[in-house]
Amino acid sequence: MTKDEAQRCRWTFYEAVNLRPMHTSRSQGTWGFETSQDREGGLLLQLSGRMDAVNAGAMLRDLGALLERTRPRALTVDLSGVTYVDDFGVLVLIQMRHRMTARSGSFSLIHLTDNAKEILSLLRFDEVTEKPAFTKKPTPNLFVRLGDATLRHIHEFQFLTSFTGSIFLALLYVLRHPRSLRKEDTLLAMQRTGVDALPIVGLISFLLGLIIAFMSSVQLRQFGADIYVASLVSLAMTRELGPIMTAIIVAGRSGSAYAAEIGTMRISEEIDALFTMGLDPTRFLAVPKVIASLVVVPLLTLFSDLFAVLGGLLVGVLMLDLTANAYIAQTFVTLTPFDVFLGVFKSVVFAFLIAWIGCFRGFRVRGGAASVGQATTSAVVSSIFLIILTDSLFSVILRYWG
Amino acid sequence: MNRQPIIQVRDLIARYGDETILEGVSFDVYEGEIFVILGGSGCGKSTLLKHLIGLIRPSSGQILIDGEDLALADSHAYQRLLRKIGILYQSGALFGSMTLAENVALPITEYTEVPLDLVSSLVRMKLNLVHLAGYEDYLPSEISGGMKKRAGLARAMALNPKILFFDEPSAGLDPVTSAGLDNLILHLNKTLGTTMVIVTHELQSILAVAQRVIMLDRGAKGIIAEGDPRHLRETSRNPLVRRFFNRLPEDSWIPA
């Protein structure tokens, strides 16, 4: 440290803008320091003002810079002018001590106020070591993680199997004791899954019918086969697209809702409460949802077929100059009862998949709010995947069997 | 007493719909004081607390925190006020997706300029203070209810606010932990001069920490007693107050 620097008395007041504003509010903090050289060539640092959260950032920065520049052999910090110290202030002192000891210099505090003494002893200032941060949990190596993941999947599969079993047992139980079914819950689930979904299912199917009719008419018109637009729309919708579109909409609307509802109940220990009251959570929560979707999804599918035919009809009448009668007659000629039955049967399977996966994901929730979010997402993703997969299986089976 | 009032409540009326919970409540909390709001279940303790921290707007009346009216405060002023207070919620209200260390570090990294590598030492000091050293990397779902509450306290005092609000701090804690929490409250009050506003009905911790209490009652829809709890226990003429402090049942509870 040069003589010049040492003798210069510097009062620096800072207007710190440490509190990052949520809007533009500026929080002002004031502190200051004064340095002088003592007889042994050490640095005497007189602090004043508040050593708190507002000032800590600037203090760390400026005092750190000061020590870097002056590099004293000994540092004495005088706290007589300090009006308030909290753990942020203590952190500043710890950092200065750390800088000094790192260069094997000495560090001492003088003129501590009672408040400062109290907080220093509370935070065990003398014992705190400067080891940075806490040790992170070690991340296990690749094999451990691979093994963990495998075990997790096996466990998941075991749970899935036992959950599926318990759903079937509960359904059997309800079949044998129909009065044990929670009727209000089932009706409510039917309303939420079915009635409330009708507008969106109707609209999407109507537009889908319209699109199919429009697209196919462009091709079929070249052969003068306009009338077959009716066949195409009705057959495609009843056998494939009706059940699939309905199932995807229901998975998005209700499968996710099932997972979120049951998941939240798990977190708030409501499932545990049911269990300890001797009530089977599967029968109480899953069965009403499974039964409700088994009933309403096929109905929604039929509505979806109907709306799609209406969409096709609109295109047929307005753009292809077909009469409504001809269009409807052609629809009836094309469709066999088996087509309708196949669509409905598929939708029953899809309905079970949606409720099953939704409830399963809900019961798997562990931990906090984020886990509910994951369960909801994976309920929708898994059920859509399973719906498409099952539908392909149906196509393959029918190709060789039908 | 020549201390400054830091919270002033004037003629506060709190209503939920048609139901009036508090009818004309007025009181002061002085700087550096440990102030307890007590009363039986359903007397409006939690409602009053929610008014004090600005979560609910008063139907009428005034609440001044550090001289500023909560109801009139625009969003800037309210943000400034919030910086002065810390709240310990009943079950901790820790963020489930963050570890304890991240929970406590959140306000520090958001509102101060302390460099990131030092934040973790601060966090460790804070967790040390509530006897949770070594649990930095745990998720809230992996620790017990009492630990969550203590971690919540560490987060509430992350920025060493002027006023700390406690919602039922000792509910659900074992007597040892609860006494430890009381000690910590006294200690923080003494060392940092933090004003403490505590909502509780735990008699023992009231007698251990409270310097002044107000007692609310459901029937009166307001304050029925105010003062030093030890004094109230001995001398109050109000049967409700006596019953509360001496842990006596209501006459009608079980017929004799």
Residues of A in contact with B120 (CB under 8 A): 132-134
Q: Would you state the pLDDT for residue A247?
A: 97
Residues of B in contact with A122 (CB under 8 A): 129, 187, 191
Q: Would you state the pLDDT for residue A90?
A: 86
Q: For chain B, percent helix, then strand, then coil, each to nearest 5?
A: 40, 25, 35
Report chain A's mean pLDDT, rounded to a whole number: 85
Closest residue of chain A to B138, computed from CA coordinates? A137
pLDDT digits (tens, 9 = 90+) for B28-67: 999 889 999 988 777 888 888 888 888 888 888 888 888 8
Q: Would you state the pLDDT for residue A10?
A: 27
Give the three-state DSSP class for B21: strand
Q: Would you state the pLDDT for residue A37?
A: 80
A vs B: CB pairs below 8 A: 107
Whether the predicted pLDDT of A315 surpasses 80: yes
Q: Would you state the pLDDT for residue B254?
A: 61
Structure tokens at A266: 């798990």
Residues of B in contact with A90 (CB under 8 A): 125
| From A53, A90, A136, residue closest to B112, measured CB to CB | A53
Closest residue of chain B to A115, computed from CA coordinates? B191
Most confident of A52-56, A335-339, B49-53, B205-209: A335-339
Residue A368: band (very low, low, confident or very high) from pLDDT cuts 50, 70, 90 = confident
Lowest mean pLDDT among A17-21, A130-134, A160-164, A210-214: A17-21
Report chain B's mean pLDDT, rounded to a whole number: 85
Q: Would you state the pLDDT for residue A129?
A: 61
Residue A5: band (very low, low, confident or very high) from pLDDT cuts 50, 70, 90 = very low
Q: Would you state the pLDDT for residue A170?
A: 92
Please provide the DSSP assignment of B40-89 as one string.
STTSSHHHHHHHHTTSS--SEEEEEETTEETTT--HHHHHHHHHHEEEE-
Q: What is the mean pLDDT of residues A158-185?
A: 91
d(CA B189, CA B187): 5
Q: What is the mean pLDDT of residues A71-97?
A: 85
Residues of A with CB under 8 A from a CB of B: 16, 18-25, 27, 52-54, 56-58, 60-61, 86-88, 90-91, 94-95, 115, 118-119, 122-124, 128, 132-134, 136-137, 366-371
Q: Would you state the pLDDT for residue B252?
A: 62
| From B76, B96, B137, residue closest to A370, measured CB to CB | B96
Q: What percent of chain B has pLDDT over 90?
A: 9
Q: Say whether B118 and A60 touch across the interface (CB within 8 A).
A: yes
Residue A149: band (very low, low, confident or very high) from pLDDT cuts 50, 70, 90 = very high
Q: What percent of chain B has pLDDT over 70?
A: 96
* Residue A352, amino acid: F
The residue ranking higher by pLDDT, A14 or A26, is: A26
Burial B171-196 (b: 16+ CB within 10 A, else e): eebeeebbebbbebbeebbbbbebbb
Q: Say whether A86 and B192 touch across the interface (CB within 8 A).
A: yes
Q: What is the mean pLDDT of residues A78-84?
A: 85
Q: Would you state the pLDDT for residue A51?
A: 85
The residue ranking higher by pLDDT, A245 or B84, is: A245
- The alpha carbon of residue A5 and the mean position of all alpha carbons in its chain are separated, in whole angstroms, by 58
Q: What is the mean pLDDT of residues A30-42?
A: 79
Q: Would you state the pLDDT for residue A262?
A: 95
Exposed (0-12), middle (13-18) or buried (19+): which is B255, by Cβ within 10 Å? Answer: exposed
Which of A24, A87, A96 to substitute to test the interface with B, most B CBs within 10 Å? Answer: A87
Cα of B216 to nearest chain A Cα, Å: 30
Which residue's entry shows tokens 């979806």?
A: A304
Residues of A in contact with B95 (CB under 8 A): 368
Lowest mean pLDDT among A11-25, A35-49, A131-145, A366-380: A11-25
Which residue's entry shows tokens 């109801």?
A: B71
Residue A346: band (very low, low, confident or very high) from pLDDT cuts 50, 70, 90 = very high
Which residue's entry shows tokens 């609000």?
A: B165
Residue A135: band (very low, low, confident or very high) from pLDDT cuts 50, 70, 90 = low
The residue ranking higher by pLDDT, B8 or A13, is: B8
Whether the predicted pLDDT of B134 surpasses 80: yes
Q: Would you state the pLDDT for residue A137?
A: 62
* Residue B93, amino acid: A
Q: Please state the ipTM of this predicted complex.
A: 0.76
pLDDT digits (tens, 9 = 90+) for B64-84: 888 888 877 777 888 888 888
Residues of B in contact with A23 (CB under 8 A): 75-76, 79
Q: Would you state the pLDDT for residue A387?
A: 96
Residues of A in contact with B193 (CB under 8 A): 115
Q: Would you state the pLDDT for residue B189?
A: 87
Q: Would you state the pLDDT for residue A29?
A: 58
| From A52, A88, A367, residue closest to B139, measured CB to CB | A367
Per-residue 3-state assignment (H helix, E strand, C coil) for chain A: CCHHHHHCCCCCCCCCCCCCCCCCCCCCCCEEEEEEECCCCCEEEEEEEEECHHHHHHHHHHHHHHHHHHCCCEEEEEEEEEEEECHHHHHHHHHHHHHHHHCCCEEEEECCCHHHHHHHHHCCCCCCCCCCCCCCCCCCCHHHHHHHHHHHHHHHHHHHHHHHHHHHHHHHHHHHCHHHCCHHHHHHHHHHHCHHHHHHHHHHHHHHHHHHHHHHHHHHHHHCCCCHHHHHHHHHHHHHHHHHHHHHHHHHHHHHHHHHHHHHHHHCCHHHHHHHCCCCHHHHHHHHHHHHHHHHHHHHHHHHHHHHHHHHHHHHHHHCCCCHHHHHHHHHHHCCHHHHHHHHHHHHHHHHHHHHHHHHHHHCCCCCHHHHHHHHHHHHHHHHHHHHHHHHHHHHHHHHHC
Burial B50-63 (b: 16+ CB within 10 A, else e): bbbbbeeebeebeb
Considering only CA atoms, which of A109, A44, A53, A124 is closest in space to residue A84? A53
Q: What is the mean pLDDT of residues A256-260?
A: 96
| From A21, A25, A57, residue closest to B113, measured CB to CB | A57
Residue A9: band (very low, low, confident or very high) from pLDDT cuts 50, 70, 90 = very low
Q: Would you state the pLDDT for residue A22?
A: 35
Q: What is the mean pLDDT of residues A121-136?
A: 64
Considering only CA atoms, which of B148, B158, B164 is closest in space to residue B105? B158
Residue A7: band (very low, low, confident or very high) from pLDDT cuts 50, 70, 90 = very low
Q: What percent of chain A has pLDDT over 70?
A: 90
d(CA B168, CA B149): 10
Cα of B22 to nearest chain A Cα, Å: 30
